[in-house]
Amino acid sequence: MSSRRSRGATRITDDQIVELVSKLQQLLPELRNRRSNKASASKVLQETCNYVRNLRKEVDDLSDRLSRLLSTIDDDSPQASIIRSLID
Amino acid sequence: MNHIVPNFETEEDYTTPELRNKSTMGGNDDIMELLWHNGQVVMHNQNPRSNKKPAAGVSLQTAATGDEDTRPSHNVFMHEDEMASWLQYPVEDNPLENYLYGNDLIYPPPPPITTVSPNSLLPPPVMIPPRPPVPPYQRVEVEFARPRSPELGPSSSSRTLQSAKPQESRASRVSDKPAPVSGVGAGRETETCDMSVTSSPGSGGSGASAGMEPASEMPPPPTDDRKRKGVDTDDNECHSEDVEFEYADGKKQSHVGSTSTKRSRAAEVHNLSERRRRDRINEKMKALQDLIPRCNKSDKASMLDEAIEYLKSLQMQVQMMSMGCNMVPMMFPGVQQYMPPMAMGMGMGMGMGMNGAMVPYPAMLPGSLPPNPAAAAAHLGQRFPVPGFNMPPVNIAGPAPSQGASMPDPMMNPLTLNSQSLNQPRALSFADPFQHYIGLHPTQLPLPQSQGGVPPVGTKPGSCKDATNTNHHRTG
């Protein structure tokens, strides 16, 4: 690396990045089963993006489901309160 | 994956319209003009008469217009890996440059080049390739070589790069390395082209100048982009770009086919491929950053940290919600067995005041809680405000389970749905992990044994634990 621009006082090391990427990889369902060093940073990042999108979509779907459920039960019931607390 | 590289897109968009216009404007002469779109030659504007393969070119043209939008994106990504090999491709000749830069984008319309016809061979074959990544590129090289031999007139194009002799050498060099001509990343490819162009002595001068110009367009945007990103680890890109240019020029001009040239080319290729790899990673980092809400970090490490946290919280949230979804329909009398453990889990979650992304209680239960119930409770108390949970124990400690029914705590209510007496104690035991439960179990839970969920719950936060175990494993 010919030029290193450090932002502020902290310089981010490559090792740091590698460690974070491996941590991220452990969270990913698809990449977790393989040996961690197999996945490249690019792949891990890509999978993370996809996974985050999937999770968000899932959360939205679940929210919809819960709202629908909420409409089917009495608002006074404890379930309703539970559901409400689940729905963001 | 349709995440177009922003650099590519912007650059290409920037270049494309000009190219198109220019090609159409000036392309009707003998000059062979290639429409440079998204880093590849999509249209070949040439006189049909002179082409050996006009059909290909023409068809390409027509097809190109249709596919331009879609192809480039594919090509962009496809090209990324091929850039390296392509980079070594000496751009020296006009045909090659045509592909790269599109005609008039960078250079003024070249002087009338009569030798269009043989060169016309090149564009058509080259153009076709853009779709399939590798094969076309290789074909391009062949094309170049061919016209070269019969005549060296560089296919017209704006790049008035040289002509005969350098072409020969270039051609040979070109054919050495199968490389996509169309150059994916406009900027990057131009750089490499320029560098390779300058390799041959004759064309060195013009090639160098030609190379510099187009390259100059590219480096700034990528450089700026990189700078904006503020990512330290990929910081040598801008710098290396400039370095590469100078380096290439200096080196190339001195030798024609010497080892040093090859070495320098290899080094350049390596650098370029490294840069491309870094760019890819940066793009993905940016995409990830966009996904993470309220992420204002500019450095990679903290951004990754936030991503990890966010991902964990999302996983937890999904888990809780799905649990809730499954629980609610079951909150009917009769579904007792399944409910209690789940109820407890959910109750815990509720108690935690779960708001979207948060670490619910159940997650903590399985393994994170210390074995000592008191400690566990304390632990819980620290993390989450669980005032409600304190109540039940008190009530339950009271005489009969029926009292639990009257418990106002909404958290407990769901638990009481099934069989109020049953659920509450269980819930309580959960809330206050083992303490109260242990105390209550023998007396307060008349039915525990009859219900599948109870015993495991009694001994440990069994089912709930299992439910959350997987998650715990993940997070732990």
Looking at this predicted complex, what is its ipTM?
0.83
Average model confidence (pLDDT) across chain B: 52
Q: Which of B183-197, B254-268, B322-336 has the lowest mean pLDDT?
A: B183-197
Long-range contacts of B296-302 (CB under 8 A, 24+ apart): B298/A7, B298/B229, B298/B230, B299/A7, B299/A10, B299/A12, B299/B230, B299/B231, B299/B232, B300/A12, B300/A17, B300/A20, B300/B231, B300/B232, B300/B233, B301/A12, B301/A16, B301/A17, B301/A20
pLDDT digits (tens, 9 = 90+) for B417-468: 444 444 444 443 333 434 444 444 444 444 444 444 444 434 444 344 444 4
The predicted structure's pLDDT at residue A45: 84
Closest approach of chain A CAs to the CA of B385, in angstroms?
15
pLDDT digits (tens, 9 = 90+) for B16-46: 444 444 444 444 555 555 566 555 655 555 5
Q: Does B354 contact A81 at a Cβ distance shorter than 8 Å?
A: no
- Interfacial B residues in 397-426 facing A (CB < 8 Å): 410-417
Closest approach of chain A CAs to the CA of B448, in angstroms?
22
The predicted structure's pLDDT at residue B39: 59
Q: Does A2 contact B307 at a Cβ distance shorter than 8 Å?
A: no
Most A CBs within 10 A among B77, B225, B314, hence the mutation to make, goes to B314
Give which of B438, B437, B418, B417 is closest to B427, Cα–Cα: B437
Q: What is the CA radius of gyration of chain B?
A: 34
**Contact residues, chain A, for B318 at CB < 8 Å:** 55, 58-59, 62
CA distances from B285 to A38, B198, B308 (A): 19, 35, 13
Longest dimension (CA), chain B: 106
C-alpha to C-alpha distance for B14 and B148, rounded to whole angstroms: 31
- Interfacial B residues in 339-368 facing A (CB < 8 Å): 346-347, 349-350, 353-356
- Interfacial B residues in 302-331 facing A (CB < 8 Å): 304-305, 307-308, 310-312, 314-315, 317-318, 320-322, 324-325, 327-329, 331
Q: Does B414 contact A48 at a Cβ distance shorter than 8 Å?
A: no
Q: Which amino acid is at B245?
A: F
Cβ–Cβ under 8 Å, residues B149 and B115: no
Kindly report the pTM of this predicted structure.
0.37
**Contact residues, chain A, for B232 at CB < 8 Å:** 4-7, 11-12
Q: Does B320 contact A86 at a Cβ distance shorter than 8 Å?
A: yes
Q: Does B354 contact A85 at a Cβ distance shorter than 8 Å?
A: yes
Most B CBs within 10 A among A16, A22, A26, A45, hence the mutation to make, goes to A45
Residue with tokens 């951004």: B303
- B255 contacts chain A (CB < 8 A): no
Q: Does A83 contact B318 at a Cβ distance shorter than 8 Å?
A: no
Q: Which of A16, A77, A88 sits opposite B301 (nearest CB)?
A: A16
pLDDT digits (tens, 9 = 90+) for B327-377: 766 665 554 455 554 444 444 444 444 444 444 444 444 444 344 444 434
From A14, which residue of chain B is nearest by alpha-carbon distance? B233
**Contact residues, chain A, for B414 at CB < 8 Å:** 77-79, 82
Beta-carbon count within 10 A of B381 CB = 14
Percent of chain B with pLDDT over 70: 15
Residue range B247-260: mean pLDDT, rounded: 59
As a whole number of Å, the end-to-end CA separation of chain B is 32
**Contact residues, chain A, for B350 at CB < 8 Å:** 81-82, 85-86
How many CB contacts within 8 angstroms connect chain A with chain B?
A: 158
From A68, which residue of chain B is nearest by alpha-carbon distance? B325
**Whether pLDDT at B4 is above 50:** yes
Residues 6+ apart with CB under 8 A from B4: B73, B76
Give which of B420, B361, B362 is closest to B395, Cα–Cα: B420
Cβ–Cβ under 8 Å, residues B76 and B4: yes
Residue range B407-414: mean pLDDT, rounded: 43
Residue with tokens 């510099």: B212
Average model confidence (pLDDT) across chain A: 74
Q: Which of A5, A66, A88 sits opposite B355 (nearest CB)?
A: A88
Percent of chain B with pLDDT over 90: 3
Closest approach of chain B CAs to the CA of A38, in angstroms?
16
Indicate if the alpha-carbon torsion angle B326, B331, B335, B336 is positive or negative.
positive
Q: At what angle do helices A14-27 and B300-330 cross, to 10 degrees?
A: 10
Q: Does A2 contact B239 at a Cβ distance shorter than 8 Å?
A: yes
Residue range B139-153: mean pLDDT, rounded: 45
SS3 of residue B118 by DSSP = helix
Long-range contacts of A46-52 (CB under 8 A, 24+ apart): A46/B1, A46/B284, A48/A24, A48/B288, A48/B307, A48/B311, A49/B284, A49/B287, A49/B288, A49/B291, A51/A27, A51/B311, A52/B288, A52/B291, A52/B292, A52/B307, A52/B310, A52/B311, A52/B314
C-alpha to C-alpha distance for B42 and B103, rounded to whole angstroms: 12
Closest approach of chain A CAs to the CA of B102, in angstroms?
31
